[in-house]
């Protein structure tokens, strides 16, 4: 402090200085000390040199929850009054000269186990001027301030958060917190105005100050109690910087309806449900946010089927968990039609738990041959994209079954908060998204063990194993039934109305036409050479046909399929995909003379076998593909099954 002996001296100094300055500068603060003529000029705050934060903070929680980063940058734990001041905090009034480390604390946190009005605090203690210094001055009498050292507002953590209550909004309410910039100027202040809060009691006492505009700059926080009248107290605890502007807990819905229709679930599918989509209004009230067609739902069922008309009748075809599933094809009672509605639906932040790191959702819609701009995104807490999924299933305007399950492994994000955004940004053909039962699980969806039931066991011109009909993945006898059971077709594999789809014409190579050597297991075999009644010729048709997921069993680890067609370097064949859609095996025929299985009189040379022993107990899919429209650009196929026997010669 600089002391001047008299007012006259101050005037002379001011005049002298005025003659030397050409610019406008902030004058130092002046104050006159009572009882003498001395004027005091306060030095400006020292410029900050480094960012302050506490270390080794006690992380005990009492009747309160915290965000995942609540201990990353703690400015004040207030657990030890003496060491807090030693570390650089500046105190006045009742906060000054604490006699013990617990001088600022409750007496001594004596409400911690009070079931009616419990104490909420983080670490060892919370602070209250109502009970400061062992209540030496009563509840309202104590006043004073507590000023932090400078700390830096980090871009990653721009929100100041603390538990705080006290004050009287109907009185002067001169208790609270203010934030100061590097020059000591007040940026903002917060007065809690909660007279019932002589101590902090619950998560409702969390307060937030948005300092995003000061990212990269140094600030100080001053807690103050300047009120001696009624409600003249302040309670506070755990001042820290956070990435979150509100309390983040392990969000999930409660009391979710567990009814199942045409879908199966895993054992823990109801332990952490992020979105049931049963009640649009309740979900938005609980923290989901919506835009476009999802926004402002008129009723609980605004996002649902119309009126779940695929859930009724003798043979309901919809797949539903709980009361409803959602689809933008029929959103808001189909007022805008099937493709036109667009919008987003975004979940609250939720925690990825070690016990349940897999995200599962029933999802369909979109067009893989168009923009396919519908689906789901998984976002980190800062909004960056972790993963996205576009279902590309134009045939499924509503959820139909287990083949619509989509899973994503978030093991790398255990202990972190994420959110999910469901979106429909497509107004053209197949511009819809259907979705249901978003949840976290220990497994990737249900253990789907798909197989055909009661396949025809007729055999012509080919040898099969004893167990070739035990686990049939595809007989190809009934294209419509296969699509309805979850097979997904693209390109020319999509059955054209009024045709025999991918079967022979009509299996004319096994009829009485002088050429009865076609290899057929069951009623039919398939060939892209004659697909959709040969509408595009033999080589031109292309596309894919993908199975539902099935489990590789230890007793049947070999996948057998009868394949023909193609040639060296021709992109036709069969792939095996894991649960994440990644290729784990492939086989490609090179028999250009096999436009249909058995052409040329060959027997038993068309079997292909893939050993899936490395994938026992895992879910996989098979995908037939014909991506070749030039010479030998066709694929003949029949009877995909799992077996204990390798049928390939």
Helix (H) or strand (E) holding 534: helix 531-534
Task: Give the mean pLDDT of 107-117.
Answer: 53
Q: Which of 510, 508, 514, 527 is nearest to 606 (CA)?
A: 527
Residues 476 and 583 both lie in one domain: yes
Q: Does residue 74 sit in the same domain as residue 102? A: yes
DSSP string of 399-449? --SGGGEEEEE-GGGTTSEEEEEEEE---STT--EEEEEEEEESSSSS---
Local structure of 241: helix, strand or coil: strand
Tell me: pLDDT of 533 over 90.
Answer: no
Q: Which of 3-17, 133-147, 377-391, 542-556 has the lowest mean pLDDT?
A: 3-17
| Count: domains in the chain | 4
Same domain? 468 vs 514: yes
Residue 449 included in any domain: no
* Segment 154-207, tens digit of pLDDT: 988 899 999 999 888 776 778 999 999 999 999 999 999 888 878 888 888 999
Confidence of residue 514 (pLDDT cuts 50, 70, 90): very low
Domain assignment of residue 448, yes or no = no
**531 to each of 395, 504, 626, how far by Cα in Å?**
19, 7, 12
CA separation for the pair 191, 172 (Å, rounded): 10
Range of the domain at 429: 260-441
For tokens 């604390």, what's the residue? 105
Lowest average pLDDT, out of 131-145, 262-276, 390-404, 521-535, goes to: 390-404
pLDDT at 517: 75
How many CA within 13 A on the CB side of residue 63?
Answer: 23
Distance between CA 68 and CA 66 in Å, rounded?
7
Structure tokens at 290: 């919506």
Which range, of 244-258, 414-428, 489-503, averages the lowest pLDDT?
Answer: 244-258
Domain assignment present for 53:
no
Give the CATH number for residue 627. 2.60.120
Stronger pLDDT, 622 or 2, i.e. the higher one: 622
For residues 372 and 433, membership in a common domain is answered with yes
Please classify residue 505 by burial: count the beta carbons closer than 10 Å to its beta carbon, then call 0-12 exposed, 13-18 middle and 19+ buried. middle
Q: Is residue 304 part of a domain?
A: yes
456-467: per-residue pLDDT in tens?
999 988 999 999
Query: Across 43-52, 111-120, 376-385, which has the greatest mean pLDDT?
Result: 376-385
224 in the same domain as 81: yes
State the Cα–Cα distance between residues 57 and 123, nearest whole angstrom: 7
Note whether 318 and 382 are same-domain residues: yes
pLDDT at 185: 95
Q: Based on the domain organization, do 275 and 191 belong to the same domain?
A: no
Query: Are 115 and 214 in the same domain?
Result: yes
**255: in domain:** no
Residue 236 covered by a domain: yes
Residue 512 has pLDDT above 70, yes or no: no
On the question of pLDDT at 10 being above 50, the answer is: no
What's the pLDDT band for 92 if we cut at 50, 70, 90?
Answer: very high
Question: Using CA atoms, how far apart are residues 384 and 329, in angstroms rounded to an integer?
Answer: 28
Do 613 and 532 lie in one domain? The reply is: yes
Point out the domain boundary residue: 374, 409, 441.
441
Q: Stretch 11-28: mean pLDDT, rounded? A: 36
Query: How many beta carbons lie within 10 A of that of residue 379, not counting itself?
Result: 19
For tokens 């009509």, what's the residue?
A: 506
Q: Is residue 216 domain-shared with residue 351, that is, in the same domain?
A: no
- What are the φ and ψ backbone dihedral angles of 142, each rounded to 5 degrees? -65, 140
Question: What pLDDT shows up at residue 2?
Answer: 34
Residue 18 in 3-state DSSP? Answer: helix
* Alpha-carbon distances of 437 from 272, 434, 505, rounded to whole Å: 10, 11, 43
67 and 27, same structural domain? no
> Residue 180 domain-assigned?
yes
Does 166 lie in the same domain as 198? yes
Residue 581 φ/ψ, nearest 5 degrees:
85, 10
Q: Does 56 fall in a domain?
A: no
């Amino acid at each position: 402090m600089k002391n001047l002996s008299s007012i006259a001296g101050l005037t002379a100094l001011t005049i002298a200085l005025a003659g030397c300055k050409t610019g406008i500068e902030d004058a130092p603060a002046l104050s006159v000390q009572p009882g003498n003529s001395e004027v005091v000029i306060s030095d400006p705050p020292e410029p900050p040199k480094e960012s302050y934060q506490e270390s080794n903070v006690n992380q005990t929680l009492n009747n309160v929850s915290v965000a995942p980063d609540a201990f990353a940058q703690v400015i004040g734990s207030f657990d030890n009054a003496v060491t807090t001041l030693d570390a650089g905090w500046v105190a006045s009034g009742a906060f000054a000269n604490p006699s013990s480390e617990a001088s600022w604390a409750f007496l001594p946190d004596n409400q911690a186990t009070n079931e009616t009005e419990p104490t909420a605090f983080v670490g060892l203690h919370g602070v209250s001027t109502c009970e400061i210094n062992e209540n030496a001055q009563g509840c309202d009498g104590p006043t004073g301030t507590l000023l932090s050292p400078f700390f830096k507002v980090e871009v990653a953590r721009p929100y100041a958060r603390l538990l705080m209550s006290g004050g009287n909004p109907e009185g002067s309410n001169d208790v609270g917190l203010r934030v100061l910039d590097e020059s000591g100027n007040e940026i903002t202040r917060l007065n809690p105005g909660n007279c019932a809060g002589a101590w902090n009691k619950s998560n409702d006492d969390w307060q937030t100050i948005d300092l995003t505009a000061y990212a990269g700059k140094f600030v100080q926080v001053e807690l103050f109690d300047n009120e001696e009248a009624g409600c003249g107290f302040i309670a506070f605890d755990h001042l820290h910087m956070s990435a979150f502007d509100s309390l983040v807990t392990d969000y999930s819905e409660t009391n979710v309806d567990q009814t199942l229709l045409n879908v199966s679930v895993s054992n823990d599918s109801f332990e952490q449900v992020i979105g049931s989509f049963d009640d649009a209004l309740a979900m938005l009230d609980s923290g989901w946010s919506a835009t476009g067609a999802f926004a402002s739902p008129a009723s609980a069922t605004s996002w649902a089927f119309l009126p779940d008309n695929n859930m009724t009748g003798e043979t309901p075809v919809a797949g539903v968990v709980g009361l409803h599933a959602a689809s933008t094809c029929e959103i808001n009672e189909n007022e805008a039609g099937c493709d036109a509605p667009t919008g987003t639906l975004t979940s609250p932040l939720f925690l990825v738990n070690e016990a349940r790191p897999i995200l599962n959702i029933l999802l369909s819609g979109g067009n893989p041959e168009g923009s396919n701009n519908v689906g789901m995104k998984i976002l980190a807490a800062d909004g960056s994209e972790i993963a996205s999924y576009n279902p590309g299933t134009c045939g499924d305007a509503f959820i139909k079954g287990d083949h619509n399950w989509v899973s994503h492994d978030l093991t790398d994000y255990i202990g972190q908060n994420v959110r999910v955004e469901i979106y429909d940004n497509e107004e053209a053909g197949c511009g819809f998204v259907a979705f249901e039962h978003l949840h976290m699980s220990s497994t990737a969806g249900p253990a789907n063990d798909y197989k055909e039931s009661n396949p025809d066991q007729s055999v012509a011109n080919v040898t099969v194993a004893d167990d070739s009909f035990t686990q049939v993945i595809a007989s190809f006898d009934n294209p419509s039934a296969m699509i309805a059971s979850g097979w997904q077709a693209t390109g020319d594999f999509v059955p054209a109305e009024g045709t025999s789809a991918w079967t022979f014409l009509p299996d004319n190579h096994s009829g009485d036409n002088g050429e009865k050597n076609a290899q057929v297991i069951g009623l039919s075999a398939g060939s892209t050479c004659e697909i959709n009644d040969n509408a595009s010729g033999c080589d031109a048709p292309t596309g894919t046909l993908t199975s539902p997921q099935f489990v590789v069993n230890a007793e049947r680890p070999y996948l057998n399929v009868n394949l023909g067609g193609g040639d060296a370097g021709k992109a036709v064949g069969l792939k095996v995909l894991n649960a994440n859609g990644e290729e784990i095996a492939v086989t490609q025929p090179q028999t250009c003379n096999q436009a249909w299985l058995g052409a040329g009189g060959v027997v038993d040379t068309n079997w292909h076998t893939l050993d899936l022993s490395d994938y026992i107990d895992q879910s996989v899919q098979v995908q037939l593909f014909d991506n070749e429209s030039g010479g030998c650009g066709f694929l003949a196929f029949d009877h995909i099954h799992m077996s204990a026997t390798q049928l390939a010669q």
